[in-house]
Chain A
Amino acid sequence: MNSTSSTLLPQARRRKRNPWPAVLGGALLAAILGFIVFGNLSKSLEYFVTPTEYKAQSSEYVGRTIRLGGLVKSAHYDRESLKLSFTVTDYGASYPVSYQGAVSDLFKENQGVVVRGAFTPAGVFQANELLVKHSEEYRVPTSQADIKSMLKDTK
């Protein structure tokens, strides 16, 4: 017996298996995952917001963690108690911000800042993180478009 060419065997018949366990298991897994994703994802999404945008849609953002960007005005910092309070503005709207923690010397009047935290129903932004690090090429934002791009570029 001589086969000159290497022929591959024909496809073997597959034994029929009950598809229901796999289908049900997959559906269960998908349901659990869907619950986790859609339950948690929208809550965990942090939007990047300017004060004017917040003013336009306050009810949507109150209580949710967001990133707020703008210019610093009237900053008060108590070094001993590590309490910082300032106003953030984007030439359109202004909101008071309060933060507890050490603040670097870069934090001055008229600097751009991005803070991460949430608005209280009273309208004060409770910040839990100050996000801006400046390089020597940093330029003070002078318009809403600048503030938007500062928000966008924050890492």
Chain B
Amino acid sequence: MLNLLSFQASALGTVGELALLAALLFTLAGLWLAVVGGVKNDPRATEGARRSVWAVFGFVTLSLVILEVALLRDDFSVRYVAEHSMRVSPTWVKVTTLWAALEGSILLWAWMLSLYAFVLSLTLRRDALRPWALGAMFVSMLFFIGVVASIASPFTPLAQIPSDGAGPNPALQNHWMMAVHPVLLYFGFVGLSVPFAYAVAALITGRLSEHWLLVTRRWTLLAWAFLTAAIVAGGWWSYETLGWGGYWAWDPVENASFIPWLLTTAFLHSLQIQERRRQLKAWNIWLIVLSYSSTVLGTFLNRSGIVQSVHAFSNGPVGAVFLGFLAFLLIAGIALAAWRSPYLRDEGTPAAPLSRESAYLAGNWLFLVFSAMVLLGTLFPVLVEAATGKKTSVGAPFFDAFAIPLGLGLLFLMGVGPLLPWRRATGERLMGALKIPGGAGLLALVVGFAAGLRSVGVLLTLALAAYNVAGLVVLTLRATKERGSFLALYREQPRRQGAHLAHLGLVVLALGVAFSTAYKSSAEITLNKGQPVTIAGKTAVLEGLERRTYPYGTSAVATVTLGGQTYMPRSNLYVNGGNTLYPTPSVRYGLFGDSYLVTTNLDPAGGWASVRLISSPLVSWIWVGMLIIVAGASLTLATPKLAVRQAVGAGAVAAD
């Protein structure tokens, strides 16, 4: 590799590569120190491992900054910049080009991993778990930094330095979401490495402490909130750029981000059973191993080329290496769990079938089944091709066939869970508690049917949404009355109130998904300039077609007046995108529905434009629901205010 380092060829590239190699060196050193510290119970070795984390973070940050500087300065001696950046791009595109292609995205992942390890090293408590948690983080870092330092290095020098680069994929220059969605997604994926590290530490030491529960929950919640925001933001990005008015296509890479989300949600809930009842300890460990492995599976699918997807990076040797790491994680995780889980003993007897624990457990099973089915649908084309040689793709009907019933089942459990007591619920009390929510659900069903809704899925979603909301309102009102004010209630139970808010957000999101999927309507028409045409009951006129030129491409902006409102959909051409048009639809967001106009074809002379008008009811509820979920998740992180204790003055007598 030494012949790849050359200051004459590329100064920035060489420094960047050296920084990565130094980070790799410190990762190896840190891993060794952590293992020694754990095996010999030596605090000095553990402290050395902890400081190695700081060194790794420093060097990976340095290489990230160097790549960013190379991008911003158009330094085409660095291979990544020459292959993925160009001079004429605006600054924000150059910044986001860091993660627009394979090598840069792995560098970003490695950086986030080192950042999480850094924060962990500062907040980690001095206990028996410490060296092993750091060690597990080092193993993850060893893989990612190893890959980016060797086979997927952005810094390898070029034989001939071009005068201009090839530029990023035009689809990634089209919308500012490129700056947001991948970052959020990686924060979510990488965030799961910390609970995984804690779980590995717990398995190796055989100890699950109170503190373990607390920190695992908080780290998982952080990663989960990022993942939720990232998945919905990705859906919004599709909605805003692809021109078909949809936001989810059961694309293999979308599924690969959805599976970790499902498993992590299950984990967040089954953790609570461990907190209250000290049960399901082994179950939780298995679940976090699966969750973390599924994030690596996702990144493997994205980079290996075995599934056809709009998201896939180019394939290369990287795919095989990711598969190897995935296999290692699964085998090591399962082996550790199988070896040590007998030592993680559950206390107490299992709860009655009708109790909050059982509702959580049933929910867990639904999440697991959901993940397994999504995984099956995603990998099925690979299996078919391996078995018969025929290329296939699995369409949406397969996913909808189980996603809808499972989603409705989860909505039901979400509503009944908070109403059930722990340990055991008597039938009568449950019926009493279900009266108001059940009544609200039936009422909503009747109202929806009377209003003309006939789709079963939508009616059931509406009924379950009303039932959920009624249940939460009843619970909250009763609890607020007991404590005087909602603020006092929140201060005493931030986790429960935050969770209720997150559930409410999910209900809003579910309503948005149900209505927008079932009642989306679209119409296509060609507009000649100045001639009014009726489309979907409104009058549309093409006022004008304007061409704007930018250094990085041209935009044809059509001005259309539809139903009295002005829309300006754009059709963009990029200098490195050939003749392919990238649309920017014009969307009017409304509380009860969106009007979405996209140009599908236009006259270069400006005489006509073909447009597609899509109306989706309640689509904005999806984005708003996500924001509510993230707000609820953040609220659960507050510490509850315990009853104020009187400070005891000097000279007070102990017994009174």
Contacts and interface: CB of A to CB of B under 8 A. Distances in A.
A46 B395 CA distance: 7
Interface residues on A, range: 35 or more
A135 B578 contact: yes
Contacts of A16: none
A100 B398 CA distance: 25
B584 interface: no
B373 A44 contact: no
Interface string B293-311: 0000000000000001110
A45 B608 contact: no
A41 B380 contact: yes
A154 B307 CA distance: 11
A122 interface: no
B312 interface: yes
Contacts of A8: 206, 343
Contact of B600 (A15, A67, A104, A154): A104
Contacts of A37: 373, 376
Contacts of B600: 101-104
B449 interface: no
Contacts of B339: none
Interface string A92-132: 00000000111111100000000000000000000000000
A154 to B, nearest CB: 7
B369 A29 contact: yes
B394 A136 contact: no
Given A36-B402, A103-B601, A152-B391, A133 B580 contact: yes
Contact of A36 (B401, B525, B608): B401
B384 A45 contact: yes
Nearest to A47: B392
Nearest to A21: B353
A44 B395 contact: yes
B160 interface: no
B125 interface: no
Contacts of B576: 136
B580 A106 contact: yes
Interface in B344-391: 345, 349, 365, 369, 373, 376-377, 380, 384, 390-391
B610 A102 contact: yes
Contacts of A47: 390-392
A65 interface: yes
Interface in A1-15: 8, 11-12, 15
A106 to B, nearest CB: 6
B578 A154 contact: no
A79 B608 contact: yes
Given A45-B384, A45-B392, A155-B309, A102 B397 contact: no
B436 to A, nearest CB: 30
A47 B381 CA distance: 10
A151 B580 CA distance: 19
A54 B554 CA distance: 41
A65 B395 contact: yes
B601 A12 contact: no
Given A33-B369, A43-B397, A48-B392, A154 B524 contact: no
A68 B187 CA distance: 40
Interface residues of B, number: 42
Nearest to B307: A155
Nearest to A137: B578
A45 B396 CA distance: 10
Contacts of B395: 44-46, 65
A40 interface: yes
Contacts of A11: 342
A79 B384 contact: no
A28 interface: no
B601 A102 contact: yes
B393 interface: yes
A82 interface: yes
B610 A48 contact: no
A104 B571 CA distance: 11
Contacts of B309: 155
A59 B590 CA distance: 47
Contacts of B398: 40-41, 43-44
B610 to A, nearest CB: 4
A37 B391 CA distance: 19
B401 A134 contact: no
Contact of A82 (B310, B377, B526): B526
Interface string B399-440: 001100000000000000000000000000000000000000
B637 interface: no
A100 B524 CA distance: 9
Contacts of A39: 401
A29 B370 CA distance: 12
B120 interface: no
A44 B396 CA distance: 7
Interface string B562-587: 00000000000000111111000000
B401 A40 contact: yes
Contacts of B525: 82
Given A37-B373, A48-B390, A154-B308, A106 B526 contact: no
A106 B579 contact: yes
A25 B27 CA distance: 47
Given A102-B601, A155-B312, A134 B579 contact: yes
A40 B526 contact: no
B393, B402, B600, B611 — most chain A CB neighbours (10 Å): B393
A136 B608 CA distance: 26
A36, A40, A46, A138 — most chain B CB neighbours (10 Å): A40
A1 B563 CA distance: 88
Contacts of B369: 29, 33
Contacts of A155: 308-310, 312
A79 B611 CA distance: 11
A40 B373 CA distance: 12
A152 B384 CA distance: 14
B589 to A, nearest CB: 24
B361 to A, nearest CB: 12
B524 A82 contact: yes
A60 B555 CA distance: 45
A131 B422 CA distance: 53
Given A36-B373, A40-B401, A46-B393, 12 more contacts: A11-B342, A44-B401, A45-B392, A46-B392, A79-B608, A82-B524, A102-B610, A103-B600, A135-B577, A136-B579, A155-B309, A155-B310
CB-based closest 8 A-B pairs:
A102-B600, A136-B578, A44-B398, A102-B610, A48-B391, A44-B395, A40-B401, A44-B397
Interface of A: 8, 11-12, 15, 29, 33, 36-37, 39-41, 43-48, 65, 67, 79-80, 82, 100-106, 133-136, 138, 151-155
10 contacts: A36-B373, A44-B401, A45-B384, A67-B393, A101-B600, A101-B612, A102-B601, A105-B601, A136-B576, A138-B578
